[in-house]
Amino acid sequence: MLAEADLRRCPPTLDLAIPSLTYFLDGIAEAGVQVQRCNVASASDAPQRPIITEQVLLLPDQGVGLSDAQRYSLHLASAAHVAAHLLFSPARLPVGKLKPMGLAVISAIEDARSEQLLIREHPGLRQLFLRHSALPLSGPDLSFASLVSRLNLALLDDEYRDDNYWVNKGRDLFRARLDALDDYDSFRAIGSILANDLGQMRVRFNPQQYAVPQVYRDDNSYLWTFDQVSDQSVAEVRFQNPQPPSPPPLNEPDALPETAVTEELVVRYDYPEWDARLQMRRPDWCIVVEHRTVFVGVENQKQKNAVSRLMMSPSQHLDRKRRMRRQWEGEDIDLNAATEVLVDRRLGLAPDPRIFLRPGKAARRATILLLLDMSQSSNDYRADIGGTVLQLAKRAALMSLGAAAGTEDRVAVHGFFSNTREAVHYFRFLDPGQACNDLILRRIETAEAKYSTRMGAAIRHATALLRKEETDVRAVVLISDGAPSDIDVFHADYLIEDAAVAVREALREGIDAACVTLDPQAASYVRRIFGNGRFSIVDNAMRLGTVLRHIYARVSHGSI
Amino acid sequence: MNLDAYRLDVEPYYRPCGHEVVLFEQAHSHRLPLILKGPTGCGKTRFVEHMAWRLRRPLITVACNEDMTASDLVGRYLLDADGTCWHDGPLTLAVRYGGICYLDEIVEARQDTTVVIHPLTDSRRILPLDKKGEIVRAHPDFQLVVSYNPGYQSRSKDLKQSTRQRFAALEFDYPEREAETEIIAHEADVGRELADKLVGIARKSRALKDRGLDEGISTRMLTYAAMLIRDGMPPLDSCAMTMTNPVTDDPDMVLALRAIVESYFTV
């Protein structure tokens, strides 16, 4: 499937393959789906298969013993199979009175039907699926897994020949309806017929030990809802919520000087809110409670070197106050140079052709306020990043801080959560231009996520703080993991509209706003809030740092 | 001076995807300034060429960039043996002698450059050459057309309202699947089956916009790929060279796009 040059570039581990698998799945399925490593042990004895949950594909690290290229190709096949389900399979149908064996056979037929539909558009995928559908070498037997495995192969591979009556019957029934692949019900009927035949053939089925034979296929839990079934024999994969291990500290802060004295300042501010239903501003509607630590008697320490340094090119803009003389090209003729040209001509000398004048460039200074969404949801432990979303966001913010240290940019790190309109807590961890010291790092590190996300009020407060800055570029960059919400708001659009109005108000004042979001479903609202080109959806959390750096560079160059 | 060198002799191929041809003709009959907006490589420039040919007008194209100054558009004094002499810029040429002036990617030009078009784009239809002390009245055939890509929308690189509101606008997007297939098949002279596959790949890549890609694969890129495949190059190599490699530098994205390409071709 992969060209030779690509084989050398195949990611050697599942973790490294996840970003490209996410893009692949997003592209093929045209939907935002996260790909994560599945670290959860299956409750049954059966080998593990990929699992699709809501908007997440959990991939077990299969293919031990395969080469990098083969393993990557196996994961690609899994992603393609999942795309087939997402595009063509009805999800979470009630199981009803179906027996486990019926479920397994109907699921196998559905796997084949959805793959055929996908292959219609992507004929290259047939080869990919076939590569990972090979039968075990032990030879055909009449166990359930063997029969289903052969049926799967027969449905996928036109050249495969089998001597089993049941397999051939399945193939014939399936082939007869190939021109009506969109008709789910008729294929389900084929599954029922085949399952019934197996029952009469007295083929034994042990749900505890059965796994979908083709390793690249998912466990089909996506297709069914088991809620109404009390039958314990149904194979269930139980998800244990992994207990987050104690997080490693972001940076090991040095001890503070003993003379350090801090004061916690708490100030209340009132802000309006936009009510989209009434189409009016509600004045003084939200109370932002600002928390700030003031240092008394401590000299600001130099910027922590521990925060990894990234090179950022200082941004420049055209400055008409700087006039560059004697240029090859330019807007105007440089009179001094032109006079010299005429003098040189009279004297019979070769004149200097650099006679133009043009404006020079000056460095552009930026103030960037990184605003962390510290709502409860960012406490979620994510196995793929080995920590919580908030920890990742903090790391990414600190990386940007380090990146800015080499430039003239002023970076602030603030955070917020809200508990109704009367308590939008806003934390000013680090203000623009303030040197970062251990205490600040520790405060950022220990800040906890709670409650909800009232984005509009937080953006208004950030805007108000940025208004005092005098740099050429001023911008708020929100790092978020979900849509705005709060417990006193019941209308889904209310806070989205309010945040959109807050962003528009900021833009009107010349303060940029951009957003990096970890919510794969953000497409539905983030464009409404921030507008075209002012957001980036990060499907793969490990890329947050890179994406944030990219947005940061664009914002600080004034090119958002 | 006449602008014959700027006339198009051969009809540039353009397949309409809506009423844009009629709308352009109407706008031209009133000499309304026009904005064409749409993603890169979706056919804006080709459309203008087609319309210039159709209306039998010379077409003067200027590709804007951020180093471009007002002098690059209107003209400047140069030195010659007798002292200084004035040279008309491309915009002044079109205004003086009558033609369609097309400013491609206008947002790339700095805002102080774009304001020179203001007096041309209201009822005055004049171009003041302040350095020369001349006011050029627009030729009756003069029309201004500009284009930009709203996908790279940026505050510093955005049209001001005072500029925007002088224009009528036509919005472009990548054509529908059928139409795009027809365009690729015609442009690259390939079969519809191949064209359809390439369009399928492009449509998948467009789903990745804002999810790792700044822009999806454009119609123009598809044409290049189709040409190489028609010449007998292997499809996977052709698509890598003309589509996946140019569109992104992110190695993970390149890998994913190649897998998408490969899903369309049986090797």
Q: What is the pLDDT of residues A375-403, one digit of tens each?
A: 988 888 777 677 788 888 888 888 777 77
Residue A339: closest C-alpha in chain B: B83
* Mean pLDDT value across residues A426-435: 87
Number of domains in chain B: 2
Contact A127 B267 (CB under 8 A): yes
Q: Tell whether A393 and A349 lie within a shared domain.
A: no
Which residues does B55 contact at the CB level (< 8 Å), separation at least 6? B25, B28, B100
Give contacts of A76 with chain B, Cβ < 8 Å.
Answer: 259
**A388: helix, strand or coil:** strand
Residue B250 and residue A79: Cα distance in Å, rounded? Answer: 20
pLDDT at B54 over 80: yes
Q: Tell whether A347 and A434 lie within a shared domain.
A: no
* Mean pLDDT value across residues B44-63: 95
Give contacts of B262 with chain A, Cβ < 8 Å.
Answer: 1-3, 124, 128
pLDDT at A310 over 70: no
pLDDT at A18 over 50: yes
Provide the residue count of chain B.
267
| Amino acid residing at B220 | R
Position A233 scores a pLDDT of 39
Residue A351: closest C-alpha in chain B: B79
Position B26 scores a pLDDT of 96
A190-194, A221-225, A400-404, A486-490, range with the lowest pLDDT: A400-404
pLDDT at A304 over 50: no
In what order do the strands lie in the sheet containing A34-37? A34-37, A56-59, A51-53
pLDDT at A497 over 70: yes
Higher pLDDT, A376 or A44: A376
* Mean pLDDT value across residues B146-171: 79
Position B5 scores a pLDDT of 93
Q: Tell whether B202 and B103 lie within a shared domain.
A: no
pLDDT tens-place string over residues B189-214: 999 999 999 999 999 999 888 788 88
pLDDT at A2 over 70: no
Q: Tell whether B93 and B163 lie within a shared domain.
A: yes
Q: Tell whether A517 and A498 lie within a shared domain.
A: yes
* Mean pLDDT value across residues A229-249: 41
Mutation target vs A (from B262, B264, B266; most A CBs, 10 A cutoff): B262
Higher pLDDT, A45 or A307: A45
Residue B257: closest C-alpha in chain A: A24
Q: What is the 3-state secondary structure (H, E, C) of A212-270?
A: CCCCCCCCCHHHEECCCCCCCCCCCCCCCCCCCCCCCCCCCCCCCCCCCEEEEEEEEEE
In a domain, A307, yes or no: no
Q: Tell whether B106 and B122 lie within a shared domain.
A: yes
Q: Tell whether B232 and B166 lie within a shared domain.
A: no
Q: Tell whether A434 and A463 lie within a shared domain.
A: yes
Position B147 scores a pLDDT of 93
Q: Tell whether A324 and A458 lie within a shared domain.
A: no
Contact A125 B260 (CB under 8 A): no
Q: Which CATH number covers residue B69? A: 3.40.50.300
In a domain, A145, yes or no: yes
Instruction: State the nearest Cα–Cα gap between B130 and chain A, in angstroms.
Output: 12
Instruction: Report how far apart, in Å, the C-alpha atoms of A294 and of each of A270, A276, A448 are.
Output: 22, 38, 19
In a domain, A197, yes or no: yes
Q: Tell whether B37 and B164 lie within a shared domain.
A: yes
Hey, is the C-beta of A200 within 8 angstroms of any chain B C-beta? no
Higher pLDDT, B116 or A309: B116
Q: What is the 3-state secondary structure (H, E, C) of chain B?
A: CCCHHHCCCCCCCCCCCCCHHHHHHHHHHCCCCEEEECCCCCCHHHHHHHHHHHCCCCEEEEECCCCCCHHHHHEEEEEECCEEEEEECHHHHHHHHCCEEEEECHHHCCHHHHHHHHHHCCCCCEEEECCCCEEEECCCCCEEEEEECHHHCCCCCCCCHHHHCCCEEEECCCCCHHHHHHHHHHHHCCCHHHHHHHHHHHHHHHCCECCCECCCCCHHHHHHHHHHHHCCCCHHHHHHHHHHHHHCCCHHHHHHHHHHHHHHCCC
Position A76 scores a pLDDT of 92
pLDDT at A307 over 50: no
Select from A207, A225, A243 the last residue of a domain. Answer: A225
Contact A507 B155 (CB under 8 A): yes
Hey, is the C-beta of A339 within 8 angstroms of any chain B C-beta? no
Q: Tell whether A420 and A378 lie within a shared domain.
A: yes
| ipTM of the shown complex | 0.78
Backbone angles phi, psi at A9, to 5 degrees: -100, 5
pLDDT tens-place string over residues A91-146: 888 888 888 889 999 999 999 999 999 999 999 999 999 988 877 655 557 888 88
pLDDT classification of A258: cutoffs 50, 70, 90: very low
- Please report the number of interchain residue pairs, chain A to chain B, with beta-carbon separation below 8 angstroms: 127
Position A482 scores a pLDDT of 86
Q: Which two tokens stand for residue A220?
A: 């089909």
Residue B4 and residue B98: Cα distance in Å, rounded? Answer: 11
Instruction: Report how far apart, in Å, the C-alpha atoms of A132 and of each of A97, A121, A164, B27, B49 are.
Output: 32, 20, 22, 59, 51
Average pLDDT taken over every residue of chain B: 90
Q: Tell whether B116 and B27 lie within a shared domain.
A: yes
Q: Tell whether A341 and A390 lie within a shared domain.
A: no
Residues 75-94 of B with CB under 8 A from A: 76-77, 79, 83-84
Hey, is the C-beta of A560 within 8 angstroms of any chain B C-beta? yes
pLDDT tens-place string over residues A175-184: 999 888 999 9
- Cβ neighbours, 10 Å, residue B165: 10
Q: Tell whether B218 and B110 lie within a shared domain.
A: no
Range of the domain at B191: 177-264
Select from A225, A251, A281 the last residue of a domain. Answer: A225
In a domain, A471, yes or no: yes
Q: Which CATH number covers residue A552? A: 3.40.50.410
Higher pLDDT, B151 or A112: A112
What is the sign of the dihedral through the CA atoms of B119, B124, B126 and B129?
negative
pLDDT classification of A238: cutoffs 50, 70, 90: very low
Select from B129, B146, B171 the last residue of a domain. Answer: B171
What residues does A151 pair with on adjacent strands? none
| Amino acid residing at A543 | R
Strands A381-382 and A387-388: antiparallel
Residue A94 and residue B201: Cα distance in Å, rounded? Answer: 35
Per the CB < 8 A criterion, the answer to whether A324 and A360 are in contact is: yes
Position A54 scores a pLDDT of 64
Note the Cα B151 to chain centre separation in Å.
14
Position A229 scores a pLDDT of 44
Q: Which two tokens stand for residue A552?
A: 């940061």
Q: Tell whether B134 and B193 lie within a shared domain.
A: no
Instruction: Report how far apart, in Å, the C-alpha atoms of A356 and of each of A327, A330, A346, B64, B237 are.
Output: 5, 5, 20, 20, 47
In a domain, A543, yes or no: yes
pLDDT at A49 over 90: no
Q: Tell whether A130 and A26 lie within a shared domain.
A: yes
pLDDT classification of A243: cutoffs 50, 70, 90: very low
Higher pLDDT, A206 or A265: A206
pLDDT classification of B152: cutoffs 50, 70, 90: low
What residues does A96 pair with on adjacent strands? none
Select from B142, B171, B200 the last residue of a domain. Answer: B171
Per the CB < 8 A criterion, the answer to whether A140 and A164 are in contact is: yes
Q: Tell whether B73 and B198 lie within a shared domain.
A: no
Position A316 scores a pLDDT of 56
Residue B89 and residue A492: Cα distance in Å, rounded? Answer: 55
Q: Tell whether B90 and B126 lie within a shared domain.
A: yes
Hey, is the C-beta of A333 within 8 angstroms of any chain B C-beta? yes
In a domain, A241, yes or no: no
DSSP string, A467-528: TT--SSEEEEEEEESS--B-TT---HHHHHHHHHHHHHHHHHTTEEEEEEE--TTTHHHHHH
Note the Cα B95 to chain centre separation in Å.
20
Give contacts of B151 with chain A, Cβ < 8 Å.
Answer: 532-533
* Mean pLDDT value across residues A501-523: 88
Q: Tell whether B94 and B187 lie within a shared domain.
A: no
Q: Tell whether A284 and A429 lie within a shared domain.
A: yes
A33-47, A494-508, B248-262, range with the lowest pLDDT: A33-47
pLDDT at A311 over 60: no
Q: What percentage of chain B reaches a pLDDT higher than 90?
A: 71
Q: Which two tokens stand for residue A32?
A: 């935002």
Per the CB < 8 A criterion, the answer to whether A406 and A309 are in contact is: yes
Range of the domain at A509: 261-297+365-556
Q: Tell whether A373 and A351 lie within a shared domain.
A: no
Select from B171, B205, B227 the last residue of a domain. Answer: B171
Name the residue facing B71 among A331, A533, A539 (closest C-beta): A331
Contact B156 A558 (CB under 8 A): yes
Q: Which two tokens stand for residue B224?
A: 């290049």
In a domain, A230, yes or no: no
Residue with tokens 């998912």: A218
DSSP state of A534: S
Which H or E element spans position A280?
A: strand A280-296
Helices B20-29 + B44-54 axis angle, to 10: 60
Mutation target vs B (from A122, A324, A357; most B CBs, 10 A cutoff): A122
pLDDT tens-place string over residues A57-75: 888 888 777 888 888 999 9
Instruction: State the nearest Cα–Cα gap between B60 and chain A, in angstroms.
Output: 21
pLDDT tens-place string over residues A353-369: 888 888 777 777 888 89
In a domain, A308, yes or no: no
* Mean pLDDT value across residues A312-327: 65
DSSP state of A292: E
Q: What percentage of chain A reaches a pLDDT higher than 70?
A: 83
Position B264 scores a pLDDT of 94
pLDDT at A559 over 80: no
Q: Tell whether A399 and A451 lie within a shared domain.
A: yes
Q: Tell whether B210 and B120 lie within a shared domain.
A: no
pLDDT tens-place string over residues B124-139: 999 999 888 999 999 9
Q: Tell whether A113 and A44 lie within a shared domain.
A: yes
Mutation target vs A (from B155, B177, B237, B239; most A CBs, 10 A cutoff): B155
Number of domains in chain A: 3
Q: Is A313 exposed, middle or buried (0-12, 13-18, 19+ CB in 10 A)?
A: exposed
Residue A146 and residue A85: Cα distance in Å, rounded? Answer: 23
End-to-end C-alpha distance for chain A, whole angstroms? 39
Average pLDDT taken over every residue of chain A: 80
Name the residue facing B79 among A2, A341, A535 (closest C-beta): A341
Residue A110 and residue A118: Cα distance in Å, rounded? Answer: 12
Position B127 scores a pLDDT of 95
Instruction: State the nearest Cα–Cα gap between B196 and chain A, in angstroms.
Output: 10
